[in-house]
């Protein structure tokens, strides 16, 4: 197939959500608490639907299982990646995700390593990224006694920042932050702390203390990033991370830029601007902010013309 798969985003209501997904990207919201846009997803909790071409109306999961050639016959029973946009109108719960071994054993699905590109952040906005415990015993003691200020590591963030969040990392996105998240296709989250918030029924949300202690990396270790920016004709390409699970790039395009595939398929999200995607067969497709699509294995070369900011990702070496 020499045609991109344009996808219908799935919007998820969250207790901490807001209206920026409408204000920034123009998505139609059914609630003022929409916190997540599952932009490119084959996960059963929010599968994207193909909007164009011969596979129109199929979910991405169906296309993956029925037409593996579109993805270079990549290994794995499930589409391995999930792209989200998160609008944190309030602080998210403090949480941690398992690795694949723990996730498959205890939850029946992949673990979750993820990464964040900060689309926007209010002045002074913070994330929680890591912890200060030196041993499992100290982690348990600090959680039990509620020493959250001493335990949790807070970092101020700005628009354009990037964070790699491997499984086992205690983390939380703070209020006033919008991010694009690239992650493994998993919805397993262990809540460590939720600020004693109550849901719409007045109940405290469930915590997962034992699982959190089981999977947290102790002591916390910041992953080493090798962020690299290269200038090509009419495009600045920033490589944020190349990992076992995913490779993530930013394309800042001003004019007509040519690209060659570096992986069996490429996930593309337009964060700003407008332009068009052109293929070697002469076909072209309009691009505007909030559009998400996959370039399948049959598309080896393409060009994008316009002024656009794009986050693109490809499967990492474990998923090819």
Query: Does residue 168 surpass a pLDDT of 90?
Result: yes
Determine the Cα–Cα distance for residues 122 and 267; give it in Å rounded to an integer: 28
pLDDT band for position 94 (cuts 50, 70, 90):
very high
Q: What domains appear along the chain, each with residue ranges and CATH number?
A: 5-215 (2.60.120.10), 228-319 (2.60.120.10)
DSSP annotation of 207: -
Instruction: Identify the H or E element spanning 257.
Output: strand 246-260
**Per-residue pLDDT at 197:** 86
Determine the Cα–Cα distance for residues 11 and 189; give it in Å rounded to an integer: 18
**Per-residue pLDDT at 202:** 82
Count CA within 13 A, CB hemisphere, residue 244: 8
Reading phi first (left if > 0) and then psi (alpha if -120 to 50, else beta), residue 195 is in left
Query: Does residue 286 surpass a pLDDT of 90?
Result: yes
Q: Select from 192, 203, 188, 6 the least CA-distant residue to 101.
A: 188
**Per-residue pLDDT at 84:** 98
**Per-residue pLDDT at 317:** 84
Average pLDDT over residues 239-258: 97
Average pLDDT over residues 147-158: 98
- Which stretch of 1-15, 132-146, 163-177 has the lowest confidence by average pLDDT? 1-15
**Per-residue pLDDT at 320:** 80
**Per-residue pLDDT at 233:** 96
**200-236 confidence digits (pLDDT tens):** 788 888 999 999 999 999 999 999 999 999 999 999 9
Determine the Cα–Cα distance for residues 176 and 125; give it in Å rounded to an integer: 6
Q: Are 192 and 170 in contact (CB under 8 A)?
A: yes
Query: Does residue 185 surpass a pLDDT of 80?
Result: yes
**234-247 confidence digits (pLDDT tens):** 999 999 999 999 99
Average pLDDT over residues 248-258: 98
The answer to whether 97 is annotated as binding is yes
**Per-residue pLDDT at 74:** 87
For 65-80, the three-class secondary structure string (H helix, E strand, C coil) is: HHCHHHHCCCCCCCCC
**100-112 confidence digits (pLDDT tens):** 999 999 999 999 9
Determine the Cα–Cα distance for residues 71 and 296; give it in Å rounded to an integer: 6
**Per-residue pLDDT at 80:** 96
Catalytic residues: 191
Query: Does residue 199 surpass a pLDDT of 80?
Result: no
pLDDT band for position 75 (cuts 50, 70, 90):
confident
The answer to whether 114 is annotated as binding is yes
Question: Which distant-in-sequence residues (6+ apart) come within 8 Å of 259 by Cβ?
Answer: 251, 301, 302, 303, 304
């Amino acid at each position: 197939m020499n045609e991109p798969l344009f996808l219908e985003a799935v919007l998820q209501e969250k207790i901490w959500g807001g209206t920026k997904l409408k204000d920034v990207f123009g998505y139609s919201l059914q609630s003022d608490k929409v916190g997540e846009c599952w932009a490119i997803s084959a996960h059963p909790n929010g599968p994207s639907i193909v909007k164009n071409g011969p596979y129109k109306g199929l979910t991405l999961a169906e296309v993956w299982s029925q037409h593996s050639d579109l993805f270079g016959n990549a290994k794995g029973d499930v589409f391995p990646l999930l792209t989200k946009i998160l609008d944190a109108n309030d602080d998210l719960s403090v949480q941690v995700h398992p690795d694949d071994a723990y996730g498959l054993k205890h939850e029946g699905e992949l673990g979750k390593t993820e990464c964040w590109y900060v689309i926007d952040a209010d002045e002074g906005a913070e994330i929680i990224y890591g912890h200060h415990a030196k041993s499992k015993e100290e982690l348990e003691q600090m959680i039990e006694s509620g020493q959250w200020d001493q335990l949790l590591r807070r970092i101020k963030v700005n628009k354009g920042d990037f964070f790699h969040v491997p499984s086992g990392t205690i983390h939380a996105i703070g209020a006033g932050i919008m991010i694009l998240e690239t992650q493994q296709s998993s919805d397993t989250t262990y809540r460590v702390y939720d600020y004693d918030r109550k849901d719409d029924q007045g109940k405290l949300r469930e915590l997962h203390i034992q699982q959190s202690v089981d999977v947290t990396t102790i002591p916390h270790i910041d992953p080493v990033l090798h962020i690299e920016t290269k200038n090509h004709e009419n495009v600045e390409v920033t490589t944020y991370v190349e990992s076992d699970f995913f490779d993530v790039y930013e394309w800042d395009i001003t004019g007509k830029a040519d690209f060659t595939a570096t992986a069996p398929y490429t996930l593309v999200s337009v964060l700003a601007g407008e332009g068009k995607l052109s293929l070697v067969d002469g076909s072209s497709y309009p691009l505007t902010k909030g559009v998400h699509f996959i370039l399948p294995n049959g598309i080896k070369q393409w060009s994008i013309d316009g002024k656009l900011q794009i986050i693109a990702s490809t499967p990492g070496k474990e998923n090819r």
